[in-house]
A and B are shown apart, each in its own frame.
Chain A
Amino acid sequence: MYEKDGEKYFIVDEHQHFWNARPDNWVEGRENLAKGWIDCFYGYHTLGPPETHWEMEKYQRWTIEDYGHDVFDEGHVDFAVLQSTYLKHWYTEGFNTVERNRQVADAYPGKVIVNGRWDPREGEEGWRRFEADHKKYNFQGVKLYTAEWIGDSRGYKIDQPEAREFLKRTQALGIKNVHLHKGPTIWPLDKDAFNIDDVDHAATDFPEMNFIVEHVGLPRIEDFCYTAVQEPNVYAGLSVVIGAHMYARPKFFAKVMGELLFWVGEDRIVFGSDYGIWEPKWQVEGFIDWQMPDDEAFSDYPRLTTAAKKKIMGLNSAKLYDLEVPVECQLPAPGTTADEQKQPGEDLATDLAGAQA
């Protein structure tokens, strides 16, 4: 729990990693890809405040003790969701597999959720592995990494028939949260690799599941917002949004937040630090202190209320993962406060949004 100015916040960090990108895990002959990948991540890392930067050695692999210190002791996080990402094309034992992430969950029982992962290109054999994992770990969510390289393939779309079949089966297992990294699916190469039409289709076809779009579709925020307006089960994951912008580009960050609040609304935005890309501490503290700038350029964006911050920092994710929220961190029942904001869909439904634009 994080307390500031007398307000108590239940913090759920819905997007974290615990990876191994040290040279001993690089696939022989693909060292350039393994190194290129972690160097690229490190570039993002340096967009956070300088005093939070790690040495490359720690960044490539850190310890379970480091994790506890950064996330729970210092980072104000009550509950963490670790997202599993394999990347076995260039990391021998995987980047951060379910097994690796489980080491963290076992060390901090009751505080860490580990999400599973499948890939439609791995066919029935891959599905059986996922099912076996689920039996063992009882997943509540999956992380789908559509940009993963497998053999000659450079990625997939979640509206492909094989992926839809796996979504159907995932739902049948009682798993309802689907986290999607909408970053560079770089296949087919001649298309817009960041297009998120596939999420639109899947969200329509599986209305009982929640689709949390990590990084809000960056770099296609506009496509993401249009999808989220139409699909009530699509969520904005703030991983990278806060980490890469709040410190490095505060004005842009304000605009992005303004657009998300306007189009998606405070009930469907969830906090994720993307740890180890960045530590949660400065993101939690900074976001709770943050407010839309007073400049005229931001005047018609919604303001961020304390209630909205509580939802974004934890209450929205707590609903997705059925987490128990301490009474002192809960919000009053709906309709009892003055600062509730109208949700964007109400305006957009009549096509009159932004009458003051």
Chain B
Amino acid sequence: MSGVLRDAVWAALDTVLDPELDEPITSLEFVKSCTVSADGVATVRLRLPTFFCSPNFSWLMVADAHDAVSAVPGVTRVDVALEDHFVSEVINQGVAARAGFVAAFPGEAVAELDDLRATFFRKAALAGQERVARPLVNSGVGPDELAALRLGQVPRSQDLDRLRARRAEVGLPCGDDAPLLLHPEGEPVTAAQVPLHLRRARLTGVSIEANGGTCRDLLAQRYAATS
């Protein structure tokens, strides 16, 4: 097995997010195994916290993992599969055949999942603003200054990088001259709106975070015996 290629495949999986939880499937421990054979065949097995996790998000992760691993130079064939889920078979076959979500679930879905993904990236972009703004608020920056603040004026941080990345994914301004605070659809936030806006952003963050925590706990319990 090629160690370098395996590392590259793992790095590719690092870029695949659970859009609902805004975290990579690797740190969520949704990747049960990842191996690469001498002739470049990458085999990835995914697992989720419950048997009934939503099929749409499950599909997004399997399809994104398939695409990310396929793009790694040196990988000759990709075998990504989801285990222990009530629609494992449908998802695995659909993704492998590149059939698309609608074709895989005839009669149960009429649209592909891009809008759904965008909805959750938009939520992540909202929650991210509060994480970036919180230290500033704590150090005494007030609503007027916050409303006028541009991304380029904010100290560099992981949270800032992540906020820029999520905005880029949904087409919201993410350059140095973009406002730090934006409503979900991209309108600027006025000074008077700042306090409630930050409350809303925090609420969204709490929702994402609490769900991530529960998913992690359920996964740990479900696979306690095997891991």
Contacts and interface: CB of A to CB of B under 8 A. Distances in A.
Interface in A33-55: 33, 36-37, 39-40, 43-44, 46-47
Interface in A183-217: 184, 186-194
Interface string B121-159: 001000000000000011000000000000000000000
B109 A190 contact: yes
Contacts of A356: 195
A270 B199 CA distance: 23
B214 A351 contact: no
Contacts of A348: 196
A255 B110 contact: no
A263 B203 contact: yes
Interface string A146-186: 00000010100000000000000000000000000000101
A219 interface: yes
B119 to A, nearest CB: 6
Contact of A221 (B20, B50, B113, B203): B203
A52 to B, nearest CB: 14
B14 to A, nearest CB: 24
Interface string A319-357: 000000000000000000000000000001001111111
B199 A262 contact: yes
Interface residues of A, number: 47
A193 B222 CA distance: 23
A93 interface: no
B116 A357 contact: no
A353 B196 contact: yes
B108 A222 contact: no
Interface stretch (A76-84, A124-132, A241-249, A281-289): A241-249
A348 B200 CA distance: 12
A304 interface: no
Interface stretch (B3-11, B33-41, B73-81, B99-107): B99-107
Contacts of B113: 190
Contact of A249 (B112, B213, B222): B213
B210 A255 contact: yes
B207 interface: yes
A218 B218 CA distance: 15
Contact of A252 (B54, B105, B195, B209): B209
Contact of B198 (A245, A248, A354): A354
A267 interface: no
Given A190-B101, A357-B198, A47 B217 contact: yes
Q: How large is the interface on B (under 10, 10 to 19, 20 to 34, 35 or more residues)?
A: 35 or more
A271 B172 CA distance: 41
A46 B54 contact: no
A188 B211 CA distance: 22
Scoring B108, B204, B214 by chain A CB atoms within 10 A of each residue's CB, the highest score goes to B214
A120 to B, nearest CB: 18
B55 interface: yes
Scoring B203, B209, B213 by chain A CB atoms within 10 A of each residue's CB, the highest score goes to B203
A40 B218 CA distance: 9
B211 A219 contact: yes
B112 A222 contact: no
A226 to B, nearest CB: 8
B111 interface: yes
Contact of B210 (A184, A193, A194, A249): A249
Interface of B: 20, 49-52, 54-56, 86, 101-102, 105, 107-113, 116, 119, 123, 137-138, 192-196, 198-200, 202-204, 206-207, 209-211, 213-214, 217-218, 221-222
15 contacts: A40-B50, A40-B52, A43-B221, A44-B218, A152-B108, A190-B105, A191-B56, A191-B116, A192-B116, A194-B54, A218-B211, A219-B211, A244-B214, A252-B209, A353-B199
Given A190-B116, A255-B206, A296-B138, 10 more contacts: A36-B86, A40-B51, A44-B218, A46-B221, A189-B101, A218-B211, A252-B213, A259-B206, A263-B203, A354-B199
> Which 10 A-B pairs rank lowest in CB-CB distance, beginning with the nearest?
A36-B51, A190-B109, A354-B199, A219-B211, A189-B109, A221-B207, A357-B195, A357-B198, A354-B195, A40-B50
